[in-house]
Amino acid sequence: MELSIGAIAVIAVNAAGLETARSIVASLEGAQLHGRIGRVDACDVPFDETTAHVRTLFEQGIAVIGVCAAGILIRAVAPLLVNKRAEPPVLAVSPDGASVVPLLGGHHGANRLAKRVAAALGGHPAITTAGDVALGLALDDPPRGWKVGNPAVAKPVAAALLAGEPVRLTVEAGPAGWLKAPGLGDSGAYGIRVTDQSVDSDDTLVLHPPVLALGVGCARGATAEDVKALVEATLADAGLSRQSVAVIASLDLKADEPAIHALAADLQVPVRFFTPAELEERAPRLATPSDVVFAETGCHGVAEGAALAAAGDQGQLVVPKAKSPVATCAVARSPLGIRPNRVGRPRGKLFVVGIGPGGAAERTFDASAAIAQSTDLVGYKLYLDLIEDISAGKIRHAGAMKAEEVRVRQSLDLAAEGKVVSLVCSGDAGIYAMATLVFELIDKENRPDWNRIDVTVVPGISALQAAAARAGAIINHDFCAISLSDLLTPWPHIERRIQAAAQGDFVVAFYNPVSHRRREQLPSARDILLAHRPATTPVVLARNVGRPGERIVVTTLAQLDPDQVDMLTVVLVGNSESRTMTQAGKVWAYTPRGYAQKWQDVPDTVTSSLPHDSKELP
Ligand code: SAH
């Protein structure tokens, strides 16, 4: 598998190892710096508790490089060890960078990582697996893209080489220059066969190089099962191994076809797309060109054209177009091996990301992961600055505050080109933020290239949640959010909602409460609420929550004054029951949920013997 960004976590637990951790991140594609909160400042992913964090990463299949004592990592993952083939590599690096120890997954990437890290740090890779040390080669951990057909045979073959016995090497496909070891030759009881054929053996290790490009076409809405069945039958008829398929290729019109992505997931390879013009360049080399296909798509063959395009100029068509009622496929072979990331384009991806109210501490793991995967970041400059710690190497498209539509269009266009784009919103992406505009524009414009984008909305902590938490628990009963901005909503509509909230005794969070131009809405809202709830109702004014200069003020409804409030403030107004209290010298605001009433009505003995499902979950 190709490494995506975030696939390697470099853990710094304190300042002592920070420089080393940073050097490792800089030297490894796909690596991110994870830092212990309070001990490590700027990092990609902050964490609280090392053991729990390492366990979470390990369970998610993320490679862990801990700049810390090996024991910390061993204790963290020991209870989780089950299957060495499926588990991610774990490495310990001494804080001075001198020792790099692959602890787990030596033959599943850890040794390779250790060598690269040690080379970058000028340290020593403490490789402990026998094959690597004696042979300089790990037969069950071949280079990226290669797969082992019969892993059980790796052990006896490596043992034979280690014992100085000759081992047969047969190369039928792909460049196999990495397979060099004393003893490899043209005779021996054991053998290694490099092939794209589907074969098995008890005494010959079968290695499949990434040399096949599988071109696929299908009717709109074809099922994954139909497409898989055709591909499996076609590969089987040709005697080819699915493990040599390096990439799935198709026409860009098919970029949103679920069956093609399901096939890619099944074969565990990337899928890449080409324009009709790029496929048409292969027309002279097609075995079965079709005028009907040309009339429909602008190229004379999708499956054959895509297979050839992905296999490169020296590629040869090895299986011409095979057809089922709903799908086509064809296979081309490259003599050089295929690097999927270098051919065609991936399906464009748009993350609409809520980054939380401020900096890294209240940003979700998924939001960081989406940003980490992105090539392009689009958003208001203030928000892009808030994620600067995880933006290195990405193209920033910063825009002005009111140019939302321009920003959303730009994100969609970039994603349509095959980029991975994060459209960055503060707080939550779907609360007075840009997620709506994404869907509205796609819906309204109905552009084929936008319709094919893979859109994911990543939620974030909204300002109202962060503000309420800072000041206690003021929204912990039925609440609503109302934006006081009349830019997109006429004031009479806003006023009607405030009236309804007042009558319904909802806790209210006012977003966009005041601007330079708009000062009268907040007093109007206050007066509407005052007609239905006490003048002493607690109000939380939360400015710049989670950002430098955060200020939280607890006041009362009667004292709510627009001069204390600006566009960087969210205003939370309690309901008629909300109150304040002082604890540890601090004023807190909270809204009762009726527990006190319940305690009065129900004697203790009855409360504790209530059946489980009659109690509300917290
Ligand atoms: N999507 C954002 C809201 C954007 S609307 C969210 O879910 O929080 C902009 C308004 O949100 C601001 O005028 C302010 O009322 C509020 N807001 C956003 N971030 C804030 C923060 N860090 N502190 C206080 N208020 C904030």
Instruction: Please write the tens of the pLDDT for every residue from 415-438.
Output: 999 999 999 999 999 999 999 999
546 CB under 6 A from ligand 1? Answer: yes
| Ligand 1 atom nearest 550 alpha carbon | 23
| Ligand 1 atom nearest 460 alpha carbon | 7
| Ligand 1 pocket mutation, candidates 387, 424, 567, 569, criterion most atoms within 8 A of CB | 569
CA-to-CA dists, residue 238 to 150, 233, 320, 331, 354, angstroms: 20, 9, 10, 10, 49
Q: Which CATH architecture has domain 212-342?
A: 2-Layer Sandwich (3.30)
Alpha-helical regions (H) of 281-380? 291-297, 303-311, 365-373
Q: Quick: pLDDT tens for 68-115.
A: 999 999 999 998 888 776 789 999 999 999 999 999 988 778 988 999
Measure the N-to-C terminal CA separation of the chain; round to a whole number of Å: 42
Give distance in angstroms: CA of 566 to centre of ligand 1: 11
The beta strand positions in 155-310, using DSSP E, are: 167-171, 184-185, 190-194, 204-208, 212-218, 245-251, 271-274
| Ligand 1 pocket mutation, candidates 436, 544, 567, 570, criterion most atoms within 8 A of CB | 570
Give distance in angstroms: CA of 62 to centre of ligand 1: 33
Q: Per-residue pLDDT averaged across 340-365, rounded?
A: 95
Give distance in angstroms: CA of 570 to centre of ligand 1: 6
pLDDT at 65: 97
425 CB under 6 A from ligand 1? Answer: yes
| Ligand 1 pocket mutation, candidates 511, 516, 540, criterion most atoms within 8 A of CB | 511
pLDDT at 60: 85
Contacts of 342 (CB under 8 A, 6+ apart): none
| Ligand 1 atom nearest 544 alpha carbon | 23
Q: Is the dihedral of CA 461, 465, 466, 472 positive or negative?
A: negative
Q: Do 277 and 271 contact (CB within 8 A), yes or no?
A: no
Which helix (H) or strand (E) is 408 found in, with range? helix 404-416
Closest Cα to atom 13, ligand 1: which residue?
Answer: 512
462 CB under 6 A from ligand 1? Answer: yes
Domain ranges of the chain: 8-128, 147-208, 212-342, 349-461, 464-597
427 CB under 6 A from ligand 1? Answer: yes
Q: Quick: pLDDT tens for 258-303.
A: 999 999 999 999 999 999 999 999 999 999 999 999 999 999 999 9
Give distance in angstroms: CA of 427 to centre of ligand 1: 6
Give distance in angstroms: CA of 618 to centre of ligand 1: 27
Q: Do 483 and 495 contact (CB within 8 A), yes or no?
A: no
DSSP code, position 212: E
pLDDT at 86: 74
Q: How confident is the model at residue 3 (pLDDT cuts 50, 70, 90)?
A: very low
**In CATH, 8-128 is 3.40.50.2300:** no
Give the up-direction half-sphere exposure of residue 205: CA atoms within 13 A in the CB hemisphere.
29
484 CB under 6 A from ligand 1? Answer: no
Q: How confident is the model at residue 401 (pLDDT cuts 50, 70, 90)?
A: low
pLDDT at 614: 46
Q: Which CATH architecture has domain 147-208?
A: 3-Layer(aba) Sandwich (3.40)
| Ligand 1 atom nearest 485 alpha carbon | 13
192 CB under 6 A from ligand 1? Answer: no
Give distance in angstroms: CA of 513 to centre of ligand 1: 10
pLDDT at 134: 65
| Ligand 1 atom nearest 571 alpha carbon | 15
CA gap 543, 551 in Å, rounded: 5
Closest Cα to atom 5, ligand 1: which residue?
Answer: 432
pLDDT at 426: 97
Q: CB neighbours (10 Å) of residue 603?
A: 9
547 CB under 6 A from ligand 1? Answer: yes
Q: Is the pLDDT of residue 10 over 70?
A: yes
Indicate the CATH number for domain 349-461.
3.40.1010.10
Edge to edge, what strands does the sheet with 147-148 contain?
147-148, 204-208, 190-194, 167-171, 184-185
**SS3 at position 204:** strand
DSSP code, position 391: -
Give distance in angstroms: CA of 274 to centre of ligand 1: 41
pLDDT at 79: 87
Q: Are strands 420-425 and 349-354 parallel, antiparallel or unpaired?
A: parallel
Give distance in angstroms: CA of 567 to centre of ligand 1: 8
pLDDT at 1: 33
CA gap 143, 46 in Å, rounded: 32
Q: Per-residue pLDDT averaged across 174-201, rounded?
A: 92
Closest Cα to atom 17, ligand 1: which residue?
Answer: 463
Q: Helix/strand/coil (H, E, C) string of 260-276?
A: HHHHHHHHCCCEEEECH
CA gap 34, 17 in Å, rounded: 12
Give distance in angstroms: CA of 432 to centre of ligand 1: 8
| Ligand 1 atom nearest 354 alpha carbon | 1
Percent with pLDDT over 70 in the chain: 95
pLDDT at 208: 97
CA gap 453, 506 in Å, rounded: 39
552 CB under 6 A from ligand 1? Answer: no
CA gap 578, 536 in Å, rounded: 9
| Ligand 1 pocket mutation, candidates 424, 426, 434, criterion most atoms within 8 A of CB | 426
* Average pLDDT of the chain to the nearest whole number: 92
481 CB under 6 A from ligand 1? Answer: no
Give distance in angstroms: CA of 595 to centre of ligand 1: 31
pLDDT at 514: 95
pLDDT at 164: 87
511 CB under 6 A from ligand 1? Answer: yes
Q: Per-residue pLDDT averaged across 143-157, rounded?
A: 93
542 CB under 6 A from ligand 1? Answer: yes
Q: How confident is the model at residue 132 (pLDDT cuts 50, 70, 90)?
A: low
Place of tokens 């007609």: 531
Q: Quick: pLDDT tens for 494-541.
A: 999 999 999 999 999 999 999 988 999 999 999 999 999 999 999 999
Closest Cα to atom 4, ligand 1: which residue?
Answer: 432
Give distance in angstroms: CA of 515 to centre of ligand 1: 13
567 CB under 6 A from ligand 1? Answer: yes
Contacts of 551 (CB under 8 A, 6+ apart): 541, 542, 543, 544
Task: Identify the weakest region by mean pLDDT among 64-68, 172-176, 463-467.
Answer: 172-176
DSSP code, position 506: -
Helices 224-238, 258-267: crossing angle, 10 deg rounding: 50
Q: Quick: pLDDT tens for 557-609.
A: 999 999 999 999 999 999 999 999 999 999 999 999 977 777 776 665 554 54
**In CATH, 464-597 is 3.30.342.10:** no
Give distance in angstroms: CA of 362 to centre of ligand 1: 14
105 CB under 6 A from ligand 1? Answer: no
pLDDT at 557: 98
